[in-house]
Amino acid sequence: MRLTHKYLICTLLCILISAILTLIGIVLPLQRTEADTLDYIVNNRIRTMDVFFKNTTRNLSAKAVEYGYWDDLIVGLEAHNISWIQDNITEYLFHSPFNIDMVYLTSDIYNYHEFYGDESLQNQLKNMDLFQQTLKTGEPVSSFMLFGQELYIVTISPVTNNDGSLGTKGFLILGRKVDDEVLAPLMDYIGNGASIQFIPNDITYEHHHTVKDHRYISYLYPIRGFKDSIIAFYDVNINVDYFISLKYLLFRNISLISLLSVVFCSYVVYRVIKKLSFQFEQSVNAIQNIANGNYSQQMEEQGVYELQILAKSINKLSSNIHHKTFQMRENYLRTIETLSTALEVKDPYTRGHSQRVAKYSVAIASALSLKDIDSIEAAALMHDIGKIGIPEYILNKNGKLSPEELQIVREHPEKGYRILDIIEDFQEIKYMIRYHHEWYNGNGYPRGLSAESIPMGARIIAIADAFDAMTSHRSYRSALAVEQAIAEINNMAGIQFDPALVDIFNQVVHDMVQELPSSNTAASDI
């Protein structure tokens, strides 16, 4: 069986297995997380009910405080002004649009008692523990209360003056029956299709939910009265049909997508394999044609048909590649040596300068663990190769150069670039030579490059070149001491030189100059 056929079969099997595992990986988490999701829904609705009843109770309590803490009410009680009290508090609150179903104003001090609401509740109100709690704290108290089969939210506020400094002179009780009208906004918050049933019976409470008909989840919401005791429940049913439908819809869509993906991927793989098989055979034929050039490499000629052909071809190819590579390397080194020798013959001052610059550049590049150290070394050896095109009377002139002569000398990086541009082997290093006189701040030449736009090798050679020039004798001055040269390099960090490379230079400079002669002779590097 051919390799392409084996690859096709294995790929199709992998696609099919991946699709099956994908379905399993989706279905199992869906099953495991369904209960957690339903729990989340229930807990979310419970928090919604908590907030709703808390806000409803807070609103009722605010009304009780608003009318209980009132200087005018104290005046009305003292004067026993029943008409004013009814018009402004008791009867007014009972008939107001505030959904208040019970109003009870009582004051033993002023001998005033008035009740509006279901008369059967009046006697129960007189014995409420809330009176004692309010009297004890001097603050309004609210609680759920069960009167027969009906649930009320009851809030009791002390009757006193506006700032409460007078003390408790009576009590104002407001009650709101928790009926369908009160619960209507809550139903909107819980969701469409939800239902609530009030259960006043004393049952065992457990916080859990049950699923009914795979469409509804049911849970008990406890109603807590005075002292946090449970006095009733709401049986809440939430429609989760959308969640169940979503789960099955998700499973169906994923199954369909997986099936279509398997079919599509199988077709694509078939077409790709068919094409690759043809290209593979063409590649083998091409390698066999290259093999006619006596290239060779020894590989184990085993395996499937295609690999056997490939192995035979590569065995013929690699041997000659190795030989050719060795010859190219030798020619490359000879070319560098020839060019360096040609420059030294023309400009005696460069003798030894290029070798030292190469040494310093290699040390800096090695400290950076760069991969192209060989290229940087070659570029450093030939960084002044462009001076071959500079007239000898300028190169060998004693004293400083004129502006016109200086401009000619500054053409040597570009001349070096052009010399190397025609040699394929020097493509990696020609830009290092072209830009080794660029400054980090952009004030260099020939192109005014700056910072990272200057090749790394050029930035390294710039430091090594300047250091060797400063520590070598020039026609118009003696060599600087090593420490003076190091200080000057550091002064120019961020200006002429890359500051990060200057830091590396400082770390390796003393090792670099251990073999430095006491007196160097180098060209006046510009």
- The CA distance from 435 to 198, in Å, is 88
pLDDT of 288 above 60: no
Span 401-456, pLDDT tens digits: 888 888 888 888 998 888 888 777 677 788 999 999 999 999 999 999 999 999 99
Cross-strand bridge partners of residue 175:
102, 154
356 and 235 belong to one structural domain: no
Span 478-515, pLDDT tens digits: 788 889 999 999 999 999 999 999 999 999 888 777 65
Whether residue 462 contacts residue 496, with contact meaning beta carbons closer than 8 Å, is answered with yes
What integer pLDDT is reported at residue 389 of this predicted model? 79
What total of structural domains would you count in the chain?
2
- The CA distance from 335 to 249, in Å, is 74
Boundary residue ending a domain (222, 239, 256): 239
Q: How far is CA 78 from the centre of its chain?
A: 71
Higher pLDDT, 14 or 159: 159
| Residue 229 forms part of a structural domain | yes
- The CA distance from 124 to 128, in Å, is 7
199 and 72 belong to one structural domain: yes
Span 444-486, pLDDT tens digits: 999 999 999 999 999 999 999 999 889 887 666 678 888 999 9
Boundary residue ending a domain (239, 259, 282): 239
| Residue 283 forms part of a structural domain | no
Please state, rounded to an integer, the average pLDDT across all residues of the chain: 79
- The CA distance from 409 to 463, in Å, is 19
pLDDT of 162 above 80: yes
Look up residue 5 and give its amino acid: H
What integer pLDDT is reported at residue 293 of this predicted model? 47
In three-state secondary structure terms, 380 is: helix
387 and 509 belong to one structural domain: yes
What integer pLDDT is reported at residue 518 of this predicted model? 45
What integer pLDDT is reported at residue 215 of this predicted model? 72
- The CA distance from 449 to 429, in Å, is 17
| Residue 156 forms part of a structural domain | yes
Distances (CA, A) of 510 to 347, 356, 482, 483, 485: 29, 14, 9, 10, 12
Distances (CA, A) of 22 to 12, 226, 243, 253, 259: 15, 54, 21, 13, 11
pLDDT of 118 above 60: yes
| Residue 306 forms part of a structural domain | no
What six digits make up the tokens of 217? 């989840």
Span 380-392, pLDDT tens digits: 988 888 888 788 7
Span 238-256, pLDDT tens digits: 877 766 666 666 667 777 7
| CATH number of residue 464's parent domain | 1.10.3210.10
In three-state secondary structure terms, 446 is: coil
227 and 358 belong to one structural domain: no
- The CA distance from 90 to 103, in Å, is 6
Whether residue 41 contacts residue 133, with contact meaning beta carbons closer than 8 Å, is answered with no
Question: Range with the lowest mean pLDDT among 2-16, 121-135, 397-411?
Answer: 2-16
pLDDT band at 318 (very low <50, low <70, confident <90, very high): low
DSSP 304: S
- The CA distance from 12 to 269, in Å, is 8
What integer pLDDT is reported at residue 121 of this predicted model? 81
Whether residue 260 contacts residue 245, with contact meaning beta carbons closer than 8 Å, is answered with no
Q: Which residue, 90, 79, 97, is CA-closest to 173?
A: 90
Whether residue 132 contacts residue 126, with contact meaning beta carbons closer than 8 Å, is answered with no
In three-state secondary structure terms, 115 is: strand
Domain span at residue 508 reads: 347-521
* DSSP-derived pairing of the beta strands 472-473 and 520-521: parallel
Section 17-37 average pLDDT: 68
127 and 9 belong to one structural domain: yes
Highest mean pLDDT among 31-45, 173-187, 395-409: 173-187
| Residue 323 forms part of a structural domain | no
pLDDT > 70 fraction of the chain, expressed in percent and rounded: 71
Angle between helices 353-367 and 456-470 (to 10 degrees): 130
57 and 206 belong to one structural domain: yes
pLDDT band at 519 (very low <50, low <70, confident <90, very high): very low
| Residue 427 forms part of a structural domain | yes
pLDDT of 51 above 70: yes
pLDDT of 159 above 70: yes
| Residue 271 forms part of a structural domain | no
What integer pLDDT is reported at residue 286 of this predicted model? 47
| Residue 142 forms part of a structural domain | yes
What integer pLDDT is reported at residue 515 of this predicted model? 56
Section 95-124 average pLDDT: 88
Look up residue 314 and give its amino acid: I
Boundary residue ending a domain (189, 206, 239): 239
Question: Range with the lowest mean pLDDT among 159-173, 317-331, 499-513?
Answer: 317-331
pLDDT band at 56 (very low <50, low <70, confident <90, very high): very high
What integer pLDDT is reported at residue 116 of this predicted model? 93
